[in-house]
Amino acid sequence: MARQKGRGAREQNRADRRNEYATLVAPHFKGLVVPESPADRIILFGDELVDLALQLAPQIPDGQLVLITSEYDRWQAASEALAKFANATVLQELAELRDPDGFPTEPWSLAVMLVPFQLGAKTVLDLMRDLFSWLRAGSPIYLGGSRMHEWQVTSDRFSAMAGPLTVLYNGDPVKIAKGMARGGSLVSAE
């Protein structure tokens, strides 16, 4: 079979690597992410977190769960999978959490981020800041990634916003850590 060339082939290869990464990391959140209350408001940020959403949605019958996915096909599949839960919504951007009428929104109480390494270190930092801005102080936030995908830099920046991290899973190459949202913003970006 001839190797495909061109921009389309490069884009497909990048998409395949993103999918492999997300498929590698996402399952390790199961069993580690635990809501504190049936009224928790949970943000799940990252592809392949549908199974985690399906696990958490019934645990928060008085709460709310939002899953942020990156691509339309993922959004559509996740929306169908979570349709039976009235408390679950699937979005493509954090900005979609804003009330369309401009009213303030209640802070979220738990977050999970599967690091989108493919977007680059600066964009990941901006996304982390944005995610933290949606959380109330003291909220648990979970971070998952891979040592092959800039884990050290990402976890150092995460720790600057979430305090000392507790490593919950450390299986080579996947890492899952937990911190607590402190409120405020990161002082040193680099």
63 falls within a domain: yes
Above 60 in pLDDT, residue 190? no
Above 50 in pLDDT, residue 54? yes
Strands 64-68 and 41-45: parallel
1 falls within a domain: no
Above 90 in pLDDT, residue 172? no
Among the residues of the chain, which ranges form H helices? 7-25, 50-56, 72-82, 121-133, 151-162
64 falls within a domain: yes
pLDDT tens for 146-168 read 877 678 888 898 998 898 999 99
Give which of 61, 31, 26, 71 is closest to 44, Cα–Cα.
Answer: 26
188 falls within a domain: no
**Region of poorest pLDDT, from 16-25, 27-36, 179-188:** 179-188
Above 90 in pLDDT, residue 74? no
Strands 110-114 and 41-45: parallel
112 falls within a domain: yes
Phi and psi dihedrals of 21, rounded to 5? -60, -50
pLDDT tens for 34-51 read 999 999 999 999 888 999
pTM given for the model: 0.84
**b (16+ CB within 10 A) / e for 97-121:** eeeeeeeeeeebbbbbbbbbbeeee
Tokens of 79: 């929306």
190 falls within a domain: no
Above 80 in pLDDT, residue 13? no
187 falls within a domain: no
How much of the chain, in percent, has pLDDT values that exceed 90?
A: 48
28 falls within a domain: yes
Under the banding of pLDDT at 50, 70 and 90, the label for residue 189 is very low
How much of the chain, in percent, has pLDDT values that exceed 70?
A: 86
Contact, 39 vs 116, CB < 8 A?
Answer: no
Above 90 in pLDDT, residue 188? no
Tell me, what CATH number does 96's domain have?
3.40.50.150
- What is the rounded CA–CA span in Å between residue 4 and residue 18? 19
Domain tally, the chain: 1
Query: Is omega for the bond preceding 38 within 30 degrees of 0, making it cis?
Result: no
Contact, 140 vs 168, CB < 8 A?
Answer: no
Of 169 and 105, more confident: 169
Residue 50 burial class via C-beta count within 10 angstroms: exposed 0-12, middle 13-18, buried 19 and up: buried
Domain that holds residue 29: 7-180
